[in-house]
């Protein structure tokens, strides 16, 4: 492949070369996907038969060709007959040396939009989850087939080989569980906000953890009894706290350690947003453990999905926590040194009930 051909096919936006009669002489791979047909089917065709542009192009196009000047047309709907029109910018330039030949580059506005900073990291994670959810769905069926086949096989096997089929079944079950977690993550609903006593939620989390994941741990309560009600969804906040307590318990060794649940009021805690609108988040809940601390290589990424430092971790726990907290308009932060890891959630107060006299 010559350099020019390589550059042409690597160009990530659709590009079309036209002869002096507006017939297509060449397209790049991005254009093939844009038209959804191969180059062979396009070459020789009049371009305006294949490309519907909702702007009077002919006149300015002719002028660009006559004067050998480039032409830029922004924000036009471009259709291909194959699918609904999409907003694009068009760039047209004369090709040197060939009489009347032009190159036309189409930049779909959707792609341009995707490159702006306005779409946050969160939506990248969101689409990763969307993909994973679709994948999970597709993997479940063949997985059921594998389990079934292994179980059939096992009927005629001796003890030694049975262990192998049991391994297949057990491992398949583990994958299924992971897939279910991915599915559950993708299906988290927006919270139903109402006044919530955070100490009730903390208490539920503490009791449930002591019966299960944190049975080997000591859990100490350090509450500010005058803490006002939060504006939140108690079930989702319970999920948040259970995940944090579970992580703390899993981080400490088998001997056990201490988890401290702390609440306090911090009047000045405000979340400043890009649009300048500040939001008061005075309610602070901390889950503190005395374990080894965050693995150094993960520190910046622990809230991303599928980031895990544990052998059997899915890495979805903190991604879910951070999604729920942000759905509450809250904030989560972490500080960690060996012997002291603090996850802090900052939440808004419940709006004041209007008084009778108001
Ligand atoms: N309290 C903590 N102390 C030390 N490391 C932690 C702590 N909490 C989280 N981590 C690290 O962050 C990683 C990501 O946590 P996260 O809850 O997202 O996933 P996970 O616990 O590995 O898997 P899952 O929660 O889906 O079962 C953990 O694997 C662990 O390495
Ligand atoms: Mg976890």
310 lines ligand 1 (CB under 6 A): yes
For 212-237, how does the pLDDT look when each residue is reduced to its tens digit (9 = 90+)? 999 999 999 999 999 999 999 999 99
Nearest ligand 1 atom, CA 319: 18
- Average pLDDT, stretch 320-326? 92
Using only C-alpha atoms, the chain has a radius of gyration, in whole angstroms, of 29
Place 302 in a pLDDT band, splitting at 50, 70 and 90.
very high
Give me the sign of the Cα torsion angle 345, 238, 125, 117: negative
Which ligand is closest in space to the CA of residue 245? 1
Can you tell me which residue has the tokens 């903190």? 318
247 lines ligand 1 (CB under 6 A): yes
106 lines ligand 1 (CB under 6 A): no
Place 119 in a pLDDT band, splitting at 50, 70 and 90.
very low
Nearest ligand 1 atom, CA 247: 8
**How far is residue 280's CA from residue 275's CA, in Å, rounded to a whole number?**
15
In angstroms, how far is CA 156 from the centroid of its own chain? Answer: 46
- Average pLDDT, stretch 89-93? 86
Cβ–Cβ < 8 Å for 298, 309: yes
Closest listed residue to residue 335, CA positions, set 298, 294, 290, 303: 294
- Structure-block tokens of residue 319: 């991604």
182 lines ligand 1 (CB under 6 A): no
For 252-280, how does the pLDDT look when each residue is reduced to its tens digit (9 = 90+)? 977 889 999 999 999 888 876 555 556 89
Place 92 in a pLDDT band, splitting at 50, 70 and 90.
confident
294 lines ligand 1 (CB under 6 A): yes
What is the Cβ-side half-sphere exposure of residue 59, based on CA atoms within 13 angstroms? 2
Mutate to test the pocket of ligand 1, among 174, 317, 320, 344 (most ligand atoms within 8 A of CB): 317
Q: What is the pLDDT of residue 115?
A: 38
Q: What is the pLDDT of residue 58?
A: 73
Strands 258-265 and 218-222, bridge-based pairing:
parallel
Whole-model pTM: value is 0.63
205 lines ligand 1 (CB under 6 A): no
330 lines ligand 1 (CB under 6 A): no
Mutate to test the pocket of ligand 1, among 309, 323, 332, 343 (most ligand atoms within 8 A of CB): 309
Mutate to test the pocket of ligand 1, among 300, 318, 321 (most ligand atoms within 8 A of CB): 318
Nearest ligand 1 atom, CA 287: 1
Q: What is the pLDDT of residue 339?
A: 95
Distances from the Cα of 30 to the Cα of 1, 79, 87, 107, angstroms: 17, 15, 16, 10
132 lines ligand 1 (CB under 6 A): no
193 CB neighbour count, 10 Å cutoff? 17
Residues shown for the chain = 358
Residue ranges with strand state E in 127-266: 194-196, 218-222, 230-232, 258-265
């Amino acid at each position: 492949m010559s350099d020019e051909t390589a550059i042409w096919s690597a160009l990530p936006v659709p590009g079309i070369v036209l002869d002096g009669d507006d017939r297509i002489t060449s397209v790049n791979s991005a254009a093939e996907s844009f038209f959804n047909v191969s180059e062979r089917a396009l070459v020789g065709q009049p371009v305006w038969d294949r490309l519907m542009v909702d702007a009077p192009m002919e006149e300015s196009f002719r002028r660009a060709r006559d004067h050998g000047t480039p032409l830029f047309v922004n924000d036009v709907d471009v259709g291909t007959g194959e699918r609904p029109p999409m907003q694009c910018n068009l760039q047209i330039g004369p090709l040197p040396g060939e009489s009347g030949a032009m190159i036309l580059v189409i930049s779909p506005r959707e792609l341009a939009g995707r490159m702006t900073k306005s779409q946050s990291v969160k939506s990248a994670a969101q689409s990763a989850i969307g993909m994973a959810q679709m994948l999970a769905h597709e993997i479940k069926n063949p997985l059921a087939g594998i389990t079934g086949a292994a179980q059939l096989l096992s009927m005629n096997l001796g003890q030694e080989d049975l262990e192998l089929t049991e391994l297949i079944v057990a491992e398949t079950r583990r994958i299924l569980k992971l897939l279910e977690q991915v599915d559950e993550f993708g299906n988290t609903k927006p919270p139903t906000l109402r006044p919530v006593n955070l100490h009730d939620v903390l208490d539920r989390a503490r009791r449930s953890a002591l019966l299960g994941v944190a049975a080997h741990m000591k859990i100490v309560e350090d509450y500010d009894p005058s803490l006002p009600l939060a504006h939140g969804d108690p079930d989702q906040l319970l999920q948040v706290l259970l995940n944090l307590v579970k992580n703390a318990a899993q981080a400490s060794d088998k001997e056990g350690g201490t988890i401290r649940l702390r609440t306090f009021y911090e009047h000045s805690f405000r979340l400043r947003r890009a649009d300048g609108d500040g939001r008061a988040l005075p309610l602070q809940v901390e889950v503190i453990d005395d374990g080894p601390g965050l693995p150094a290589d993960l520190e910046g990424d622990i809230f991303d999905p599928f980031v895990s430092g544990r052998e059997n971790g899915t890495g979805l726990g903190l991604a879910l926590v951070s999604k729920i907290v942000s759905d509450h308009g809250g904030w989560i932060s972490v500080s960690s040194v060996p012997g002291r890891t603090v996850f802090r959630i900052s939440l808004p107060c419940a709006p004041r009930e209007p008084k009778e006299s108001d």
